[in-house]
Amino acid sequence: MAKTEVILIQNIVGLGGESDLVKVAAGYARNYLFPQGLAVPLTSSNKRRIEALKKRRGEREAHEFNAMTELSKSISKLIAVLQVKTGDDGKMFGAVTSGMIADQLKTQFEIVLDKRKIHLEHPIKTLGEHDIELRLHAEVAATLKLRVESTTPVAVPAESRFSGPDARDRDGAARTESRGHKRADRVREEQGAADTGAAPEKTPRPEKKSRPPRPEKGEKSAKPEKAEKAE
């Protein structure tokens, strides 16, 4: 396959950056690079453009470096929250991918990031917080805090709503409130009695039942006389 040398006008991933002199297939250059304005053929007149292209490339790379450095500082302060579906046991359906994280960054923070810059060592299949490595630039990396939450509500057993510490606390609070009401009623009664100059009425105590006197020692209760026998 015939090869030809071209000068790249724009950065092409996997091939090179502007001002780079590369060899490519003649058909690729003729049918794609030249028509798209991505490269020019290597000629004496085009060689003079290399210096200008190098200057433009240096400015672009410096701008990208500064922009990614600022972005890394901002991302390190953020917590992305991603909600997923789970079963009743709390296990996720599927896994969190780099594409899902990129979409969440755009939705939640309006940060547009190529998913290829989001590096996952392994798929995320558990809820909770995770540290995600972002390779923003060849010389700039960042760590994103990702919190994975479930959209499935956790069912609370019915009996737990009426038992346990919370229920005991509610019962204790009710008893305390009842005693407070009674104490307030007594205070109001005493205050009313003080205003009228009368002593507060007291609830009369029930009279004790009198008991029959006990026989003194030595005295015996008279026994009923036996009927005389008939003669």
Q: What is the CATH number of the domain that holds 124?
A: 3.10.430.100
Of residues 229 and 101, more confidently modeled: 101
Q: What is the CATH number of the domain that holds 41?
A: 3.40.5.10
Among residues 150, 168, 196, which one ends one of the domains? 150
61 domain residue, yes or no: no
Considering the domain architecture, whether residues 9 and 43 belong to the same structural domain is answered as yes
Structure tokens at 116: 């290829």
28 domain residue, yes or no: yes
123 domain residue, yes or no: yes
The model's confidence at residue 77, banded by pLDDT at 50, 70 and 90, is: very high
Our measurement of the distance from residue 58's CA atom to the centroid of its chain's CA atoms, rounded to an integer in Å, reads: 42
Considering the domain architecture, whether residues 38 and 85 belong to the same structural domain is answered as no
HSE-CB of 93 using CA atoms within 13 angstroms: 9
Considering the domain architecture, whether residues 80 and 12 belong to the same structural domain is answered as no
Number of domains in the chain: 2
User: Rounded CA gap, 90 and 74, in Å?
Assistant: 32
pLDDT at residue 162 tops 60 = no
Of 66, 60, 9, residue with least CA distance to 38: 9
User: Rounded CA gap, 65 and 62, in Å?
Assistant: 5
Considering the domain architecture, whether residues 43 and 107 belong to the same structural domain is answered as no
Of 146, 150, 149, residue with least CA distance to 78: 146
Among residues 150, 177, 207, which one ends one of the domains? 150
137 domain residue, yes or no: yes
pLDDT of 188 reads 66
pLDDT > 90: what percent of the chain?
Answer: 41
Containing structural domain, residue 33? 3-48
Considering the domain architecture, whether residues 26 and 77 belong to the same structural domain is answered as no
Of residues 35 and 201, more confidently modeled: 35
Write the burial class of residue 105 (CB in 10 Å: 0-12 exposed, 13-18 middle, 19+ buried): buried
Cα end-to-end span (Å), the chain:
161
User: Rounded CA gap, 140 and 75, in Å?
Assistant: 12
Per-residue model confidence as pLDDT tens digits over 110-128? 999 999 999 998 889 999 9
pLDDT at residue 205 tops 50 = yes
185 domain residue, yes or no: no
114: CB partners within 8 A, 6+ apart = 102
37 domain residue, yes or no: yes
User: Rounded CA gap, 77 and 85, in Å?
Assistant: 26
Q: Is the dihedral of CA 209, 215, 217, 220 positive or negative?
A: negative
**Under 8 Å between Cβ of 29 and 21:** no
pLDDT of 91 reads 86
139 domain residue, yes or no: yes
The model's confidence at residue 231, banded by pLDDT at 50, 70 and 90, is: very low
pLDDT of 142 reads 95
DSSP summary character for residue 40: E
The model's confidence at residue 32, banded by pLDDT at 50, 70 and 90, is: very high
**Under 8 Å between Cβ of 26 and 4:** yes
The model's confidence at residue 230, banded by pLDDT at 50, 70 and 90, is: very low
**Under 8 Å between Cβ of 7 and 49:** yes
Considering the domain architecture, whether residues 42 and 97 belong to the same structural domain is answered as no
Among residues 133, 150, 167, which one ends one of the domains? 150
164 domain residue, yes or no: no
Considering the domain architecture, whether residues 32 and 79 belong to the same structural domain is answered as no
pLDDT of 93 reads 87
